[in-house]
Structure 1
């Protein structure tokens, strides 16, 4: 069995700063849901406004409940994707520190646009989130970089 030595390049600092921005984005998502919860009148520990609650609400409260559900769903979608995007950034950044950092920043910007778009009052059905949908391209780029490192270690 042979061994491989990994040298962390100085530019990996960019990767770590980008990773830190994802921590702040995660916190922002969590804090962002609170005003929507309050406006909708949804008590803890309820994760979403139920259809039965929405149908029994006034038109104004229905909209508030809908927006709360959208904010929650944007947060959930972030969490669903974060658990693979962050490790891919950290792994891929060992081989491609500057590229991984730039792609990671693109991911952060798109994830922010996704959340803001999802809660637009003028976009029904969460259609506003499409403005942030390019996060998928950035996320796949991070996956590719991580896989490329693994491949190069095995072939090197």
Structure 2
């Protein structure tokens, strides 16, 4: 089987999804981590407990909690809620990234234009989903979820048909 002339665009869409996943970690989650688990918050709430447990002064660097652990229990509800919404944006993307990343190169072998369009729709849907979730919590994800789910279903169908063509060609 020959690779279609426009297959480079198919791979470009695939790379854009991988880039978007990485970028959203820095846009949505990292700022939330820095705002939520500040060194001041950690020192004020956990220095004594840390010294008692480890017999040394804490450094409180890095990423101590995923939003549902020991450190987050002392967060004000709004900070905890905002942080967990940012975490959900990242985790939801991670949980679902395998499907388009597997389907796109397969679907693009037989149907490059459909694949490019559906992949672009997935990127747009994921962006709308993430912004909506960040702004309004889970109730803000509806439109984005619909766009990305429909585009993902389309990618799955096109990948399946592409496999069928390859087997019976």
TM-score by length of 2: 0.77
Instruction: State which of 124, 133, 150 in structure 2 corresponds to 1:137.
Output: 150
2:160 to 129, 147, 150: 147
Corresponding residue of 2:30: 34
- TM-superposed CA distance for 1:36, in Å, is 0.8
Deviations 1:122-148 (A, max 9, x none): x35x11111211201000111111110
Per mean C-alpha deviation after superposition, the further-off stretch among 106-115 and 23-32 is: 23-32
Q: Which residue number corresponds to residue 53 of structure 2?
A: none
Correspondence for 1:3: none
- Structure 2: any 5+ residue segments left out of the alignment? 39-61
For 2:127, the equivalent position in structure 1 comes to: 112
1:75-102 deviation line (CA, Å, top 9, x unaligned): 1111111111111011101111011011
Find the partner of 2:78 among 63, 73, 96: 63
Contact 1:12 1:98 in 2 (8 A): no
Size of the aligned set, in residue pairs, is 144
Per-residue CA deviation, residues 19-58 of structure 1 (Å, 9 max, x unaligned), is 121122011122121111122227624222449945x444
More helix by share: 2
Q: Distance in 2 between matches of 1:140 and 1:91?
A: 14
- Conservation of the 8 A alpha-carbon contact between 2:129 and 2:140: yes
Whole-Å Cα distance in 2 between the matches of residues 79 and 57 of structure 1? 25
CA contact (8 A) 1:49 1:66 kept: no
Superposed structure 1 runs of 4+ greater than 3 Å apart: 49-54
- Taking only aligned residues, the RMSD between alpha carbons, in angstroms, comes to 1.9
Q: Which has the larger radius of gyration?
A: 2
| Whole-Å separation in 1 of the counterparts to 2:103 and 2:17 | 13
Structure 1 residue aligned with 2:10? 15
Q: Does the 8 A contact of 2:64 with 2:71 survive in 1?
A: no
Structure 1 gaps, min length 5:
1-5
